Amino acid sequence: DGPAGGPPPAPLLDWALDGLVSVGALTREDGQAMLTPLGNWAVWVKLEQICVAAQSPAGNIEQSAADMLRGCANLTPGPARAEYRAWLAARPA
């Protein structure tokens, strides 16, 4: 067994990679894995989301939705919009 009684890492990694292959984000051949154009795009989008989240102007990224909205209440529309967009970008779709 792997850490915390879970499956060993190799079968778990194989399962995850097979999932990416099944949606066309990855190809596997001769023990190698390569991102497809779809996989490259997905990585790029996620990195962009992380970068946007890191630029949260008012620092509400780690807050709950209600606390983030309260934090935006005293902002003008432009900064408030930037803040909630950064907050949303930091959340899984």
Domain ranges for the chain, please list them: 1-35, 37-93
* pLDDT tens-digit readout, 30-46: 989 999 999 999 998 88
At residue 18 the predicted structure's pLDDT band, cuts being 50, 70 and 90, is very high
Q: What is the pLDDT of residues 49-73, one digit of tens each?
A: 776 666 666 677 778 889 888 888 8
Q: What is the DSSP letter of 91?
A: S
pLDDT at position 37 is 96
List pLDDT tens digits, range 67-91: 888 888 888 999 888 888 888 887 8
Report yes or no: 2 and 14 within 8 Å, Cβ to Cβ: no
Decide: 87 and 56 in contact? Cβ < 8 Å.
Answer: yes
HEC profile of 17-61: HHHHHHCCCEEEECCEEEECHHHHHHHHHHHHHHHHHHCCCCCCC
User: Two tokens at 92?
Assistant: 């899984």
For residues 75 and 83, the answer to whether their CB atoms sit within 8 Å is yes
What is the mean pLDDT of the segment spanning 17-21?
95
